[in-house]
A and B are shown apart, each in its own frame.
Chain A
Amino acid sequence: MDDNFNENVVPFFQKSLPLVSSVIVMLLAYLPINFALFNNIRPDFGMMCIYFWMLHRPDLFNLLSVLVLGVVDMLITSALPGATLGAYLMMYVLVFYTRKYFNAKPFIVIWYGFMALSLLTILTKWLLVSVYYSTFLPMSVLIFAYLIGVAVYPLVSIFLAFLQNTFIQDEGL
C-alpha cells in the first residue's frame, strides 16, 4: 500500500504542485481582505506564478497550466473574458523566449526580468481591454498595480521557492 502510494500519488502531487499552488495563490488574491494597500490595486498573482514556474520548473508548468489559470480568472472575476487569458499567454511566450537569459542568475536579475516582462503583459491586457471598451482605462491605477506587483513578487517568489524546495524532488519525477 505504502509503495503504491509512493509510486503513484507522490509523483502526481509533485507534478501538479505548480498548477495547484498557482490556483490557490490566485484565489487568495480575491479574498475580501480589508487591506488599505490592496484597495483598488490588487496585484496579479497569476502572472507572478506563471513567471516563477516557467523559469524554475518549465517541465511541470506548461501551456495547459496557463490555460487553467486564465479560465479560473475568467470564472471568478467579472473582468473581460479572454483578456486575462490573452495576457497570461503573452507572459508565457515572453518567458519561453527569454528564460535562457535568466538561467542561474542571481535573484535581482530575475526580479528585473519580472519588472520588464510583467510591464509588457499588463500593457497587453490594458490594450485589449481598452480596445474592447473603446476607451483608455486609467493609467495611474495600472501603474500602481504594476508597482505593487513588482514589490510583492519577492514574497510570492519566496513562498513558491519554499514549496518547490520542500515538495518537489527530481528523482521522484
Chain B
Amino acid sequence: MKRRRSLFLHLNQLKQMIKKFALVILFLAALLLMVLNKNNSLILENSVAPATGGVAYLVDVLVVPAKLLGKAYDYIDELQKIKKDNRQLRVENRELKVLQNKYKALEIENKLLAELLNFVPLPEAGFVSARVVAEESNAFTHAMVAYVGDNKVDKGDVVLSDDGVVGRVDKIADEYAKIIMLTDINSKIPVIVEKNRVRGILTGDNTNFPKLIFVPLDAEVNIGDRIVTSGVSGVFPAGLPVGQVVAVSKNEIKVKPFASLSKTEYVKIIKYGISGIIKQSENEK
C-alpha cells in the first residue's frame, strides 16, 4: 500500500516536471526532428508515412467543395476561350499531321540504325495518372500531395505534367504520394542545354525560377535556350523537357519550368524502373 502510494507520488512529480518543462521539451523535440531528417532517418520516414495518409485524406475531402466552386468559375471563363482555341487547334492539327509523317519515318530509320549498332534500349516506361489533392508553395517548401490509390509508386519516380517535368516522388504514404517540385530547395536535377548539350544541375531555391549551376564558365547559354534532363544520375531519364532559360547573369542562370506548377491538377508519375537506384543508394548508407 505504502509502495503504491510512493509510486503514485513519483508519477505525480514526473507529471508536474513534464508540465513545467513542456515548452523546453517541445523545442528540443523540434530540433531533434531536424537532426533526424538531416541523417535521412528511416525511423522518422516510416513513422510519419501512415499519419500523412490520414491528413492527406482530410485535405482530399476538403478539396471537393472548393473544386466545385473553382470548376463553375472556370467553366464560364473557358467558354470564351473555346472559339479562339478551336481555330488555333485546326492550324496546329494540320502542322502536326505533317510532323507525324516525319516522325514515323524517323522512327523506322532509328530502329534500323539501333539494330545495326546492337543498341540496348531503356526499359519501356509505364505511368500512373494521379490527382493533386494538396499543394504547398511558399518560402520554405515547394511540394504537392497526389492521390495514387492502389497503384505501385516508388520514391524517386519522375513526375510530369502535360508540359514538362514537375518533380519527383519524395515519400509514399498509403494511397498518397508526396511530390517535391523542381523549384523546391531539395530538388537537384541533372540537365543539359538542348541546343549545345552543355551539362549542369538544375537546383531549386524555393522561388518560381530554379537556378542552373555547375555550368562550365565558357559555356554559351542564352535566354530562350531549352533545358532538358540529361539522364546522368540515372534517376531522371534523358530528354524530358524541363524549362527555358529566362535570365543569364554573371553569377546565375535562371530557368522557367515548362510545367505550370501552380496550375497542375493532374500529374503523370512515370515508372522507368530505375527508381531502384535511389533505394540502392539508401541501403548503402
Partner-B contacts on A (CB < 8 A): 24, 27-28, 30-34, 39-42, 44, 63, 66-67, 70-72, 74-86, 89, 92-93, 125-126, 128-129, 132-133, 135, 137-138, 140-142, 145
Q: Which residues of B are found within 8 Å of A93, using beta-carbon distances?
A: 23
Q: Does A70 contact B30, Cβ atoms closer than 8 Å?
A: yes
12 contacts between A and B (CB under 8 A): A28-B66, A34-B70, A40-B142, A40-B208, A41-B139, A79-B136, A80-B37, A81-B44, A82-B37, A83-B140, A93-B23, A145-B138
Q: Does A42 contact B137, Cβ atoms closer than 8 Å?
A: yes
Q: Which of B78-86, B99-107, B127-135, B194-202 contacts A (4 or more CB under 8 A)?
A: B127-135
**Closest B residue by C-beta to A122:** B139
Q: Which residues of A are found within 8 Å of B142, using beta-carbon distances?
A: 40
Q: Does A33 contact B66, Cβ atoms closer than 8 Å?
A: yes
Contacts A32-B265, A76-B55, A80-B37 aside, 17 further interface pairs with beta carbons under 8 A come to A30-B134, A30-B135, A30-B145, A31-B134, A32-B63, A32-B264, A34-B70, A63-B26, A67-B26, A74-B48, A78-B136, A126-B139, A128-B34, A137-B140, A137-B206, A141-B207, A145-B138
A contact face: mostly helix, strand, loop, or mixed: helix
Q: How many pairs of A and B residues are in contact by the CB < 8 Å rule?
A: 147
Q: Does B207 contact A27, Cβ atoms closer than 8 Å?
A: no
Q: Does B206 contact A82, Cβ atoms closer than 8 Å?
A: no
A67 and B28 CA atoms in complex are apart in Å by: 12
**Closest A residue by C-beta to B31:** A82
The answer to whether residues A83 and B26 also contact, given A75-B48, A141-B206 and a CB cut-off of 8 A, is no
Q: Which residues of B are found within 8 Å of A86, using beta-carbon distances?
A: 27, 30-31, 34
